[in-house]
Amino acid sequence: MYNKKVLQHFKNPHNFGKIPNADGEGQVGNIVCGDVMNLYLKIGKNKKEEEIIKEIKFETFGCVAAIATSSIITDIAKGKTIAEAIKLNKDNIIDTLEELPPVKIHCSVLAIDALQEAIYEYLKKNKKTIPQELEKHHQRIQNEKKMIEKKYAGWIE
Amino acid sequence: MRTKQVYLDYAATTPIDPRVLKAMLPYLKEKFGNSISLYRLGQESKKALEKTRLIAAQAIKAISKEEIIFTSSATESNNFALKGIAFANQKRGKHIIISSIEHDCILKSALWLEKQGFKITQIKPDKYGLIDPKEIEKAIKKNTILVSIIHGNNEIGTIQPIEKIGDICQKKGVYFHTDAVQTFGKIPINVQKMKVNLLTASSHKIYGPKGAALLYIKKGTKIDPLLHGGAHEFGLRSSTVNIPAIIGFGKAIEICQKQMKTETKKLIQLRDQLIKGILKKIPQSHLNGHPKKRLPNNANFWFSFIEGESIITSLDEHGIAASTGSACSSESLKPSHVLLSCGLRPEYAHGSLRLTLGRWTTQKDINYVLNVLPKVIKNLREISPFKL
């Protein structure tokens, strides 16, 4: 059901784990099938003094597609400026993986959500301007998150 | 290239036994006649068909071979049992009782009947998947026409107290059907002791070919056919009879009957090793289903903090074929209704794994799984945000 590329990322996921003292952290859960993903960012600067994603790691509870899309989003986002990273969407993930089974498309949304949330947290923490799109995105994710936390109450420390 | 292949999904389907294939081949080649044709070629097929009917009848201790109706699949047999009884007996009543852990083909037939105006009661099991016969007794009403309870559950392996339920149904004068797909060929079946009016069994779960199954219908049971036409199978199942598949089914039954004792003993021994080994080697691992009253070849677990489709795909990378009740593995994105019925929380059902053994499972296979699975679980838990 999965192509080679998806399976490669599943078997050998890139950048998994936690970044201690991350600059930004995104925690999202997908209410459709119960996947949960944490994404961690370290922010640095490029030669033009623009802020970039210097380091990125993930932790995921979920299916093959959830783990593969988590891995691929870390590859895509690494080195991007914040302005560029905000513009990423699920099609960037699906195009890179070449294809995803239709029933698994929602997993790629999860990975995008986690990235947006991590960026949001970084901007908020450092009192930087938050683009309106990102703010709206954040509100929707927070509503979904409340439902997930209820479901996984016994597991989250 | 990996060479190791360990098939542990015998509850899904089984490879055909070479002896079965050999018995089938003439009926795919020179003995191709239609069993209702009057010339010799047809009559030869008819004779072989009736011989197989007798083998099947004797295997389940039916009184006469005419009580065996061959069908194309267990799904068909189960649809036939529910819809056939419902429509033939609706003047007597429109209430049907099933369990909440039936196979989808019973569950969805019942839900369809509900849309046609029948009333369905679903009996819930305890946490081990066991149905309490008293619950069925309480649920039987004046207008109840049928009780259908699965014999051995296909997911968690729990075996139901069918004889006790049969007693109750007989006492109350209600038809009783059991889906014996997973038990047939593995443990002795006696339709008279079980007091069932109808019983479903399938070929491809017992090393026979796909495309053959049976419905036992006790003499005198009022049932309508699903398929109308040329009046094959005593007018109860019109359709040119799939002779090669049914001959194969018959051979598969004969082999199972002959080997059952030794085969079941071996399966139980390997299954228990597997269960003990996994529970010991993998932290936060739990057995689904009943610890004792379970199918000889079924082991089902749930592992916290990880998801089943990921487990299956990782095992596949190591050449191990298994299955899961996780939502992510289903098109509907809903976890297994059987696990949920046993009270398992959806997030736990996500992390379930079913391993089912069979005729060609070896000690080496079990050792291999006990070596590979703990590593697979550990790797996935490392990626998971939830930690031990």
A11 chain-B contacts, CB cut-off 8 A: 314, 317
Q: Which residue has the higher pLDDT, A47 or A157?
A: A47
Q: Hey, are the CB atoms on A67 and B310 less than 8 Å from each other?
A: yes
- Going by the DSSP 8-state scheme, the letter that residue B248 receives in this structure is H
Instruction: Name A38's bridge partners.
Output: A27, A59
CB distance A61 to B381 below 8 Å? no
pLDDT category at A150 given cuts 50, 70, 90 is confident
Q: Residue A66: pLDDT above 70?
A: yes
- Tens-place pLDDT, residues B8-32: 999 999 999 999 999 999 999 999 9
B198: enclosing H helix or E strand: strand B198-202
CB distance A24 to A83 below 8 Å? no
* B371 alpha carbon, distance to own chain's centre: 29
| Token reading at A124 | 């908020």
Q: Tell me the C-alpha distance between B311 and B315, whole Å.
A: 6
Q: What local confidence, expressed as pLDDT, does residue B2 receive?
A: 57
Q: What local confidence, expressed as pLDDT, does residue B316 receive?
A: 95
Count of CB atoms within 10 A of residue A149's CB? 14
pLDDT category at A102 given cuts 50, 70, 90 is confident
Q: Tell me the C-alpha distance between A130 and B136, whole Å.
A: 61
Torsions phi, psi of B369, nearest 5? -65, -40
B326 near A CB under 8 A:
yes
* Long-range Cβ pairs for the range B279-283 (8 Å, 24+): B281/B370, B281/B373, B281/B374, B282/B373, B282/B374, B282/B377, B283/B388
B383 near A CB under 8 A:
yes
* Terminal alpha carbon distance of chain A: 35
Q: Hey, are the CB atoms on A34 and B350 less than 8 Å from each other?
A: yes
CA distances from B52 to B213, B214, B235, B253 (A): 12, 11, 18, 9
Q: What local confidence, expressed as pLDDT, does residue A106 receive?
A: 83
Instruction: Name A60's bridge partners.
Output: A37
CA distances from B144 to B93, B100, B119 (A): 6, 17, 9
The ipTM estimated for the assembled molecules is 0.88
Interface of B with A in 278-317 (CB under 8 A): 304-307, 309-310, 313-314, 317
CB distance A82 to A74 below 8 Å? no
Please give the model's pTM, rounded to 2 decimal places.
Answer: 0.93
A151 chain-B contacts, CB cut-off 8 A: 346-347
Q: Hey, are the CB atoms on A60 and B383 less than 8 Å from each other?
A: yes
Q: What local confidence, expressed as pLDDT, does residue A156 receive?
A: 46
Please give the full DSSP string across chain A, using - where no structure is assigned.
Answer: ---HHHHHHHHS-SSBS--TT-SEEEEEEETTTTEEEEEEEEEEE-TTS-EEEEEEEEEEES-HHHHHHHHHHHHHHTT-BHHHHHT--HHHHHHHHS---GGGHHHHHHHHHHHHHHHHHHHHHTT----HHHHHHHHHHHHHHHHHHHHTTTT--
- Tens-place pLDDT, residues B292-351: 999 999 999 999 989 999 999 999 999 999 999 887 767 667 789 999 999 998 888 889
Of A115, A26, A21, the closest CA to residue A76 belongs to: A115
How high does pLDDT run on average in chain A?
90
Residue B328 bears catalytic tag: yes
Q: Hey, are the CB atoms on B307 and A11 less than 8 Å from each other?
A: no
| One-letter amino acid of A47 | K
In chain B, which residues have pLDDT < 70? 1-3, 329, 331-332
How high does pLDDT run on average in chain B?
96
Q: What local confidence, expressed as pLDDT, does residue A157 receive?
A: 40
Q: Residue A32: pLDDT above 60?
A: no
- Judged by DSSP in three states, B70 sits in strand
Residue burial B221-231, b: 16+ Cβ < 10 Å; e: rest: bebebbeeeee
pLDDT category at A35 given cuts 50, 70, 90 is confident
Instruction: Name A35's bridge partners.
Output: A30
| One-letter amino acid of A106 | H
- Judged by DSSP in three states, B128 sits in coil
Over residues A7-22, the mean pLDDT reads: 95
* Matching residue, tokens 């005419």: B66
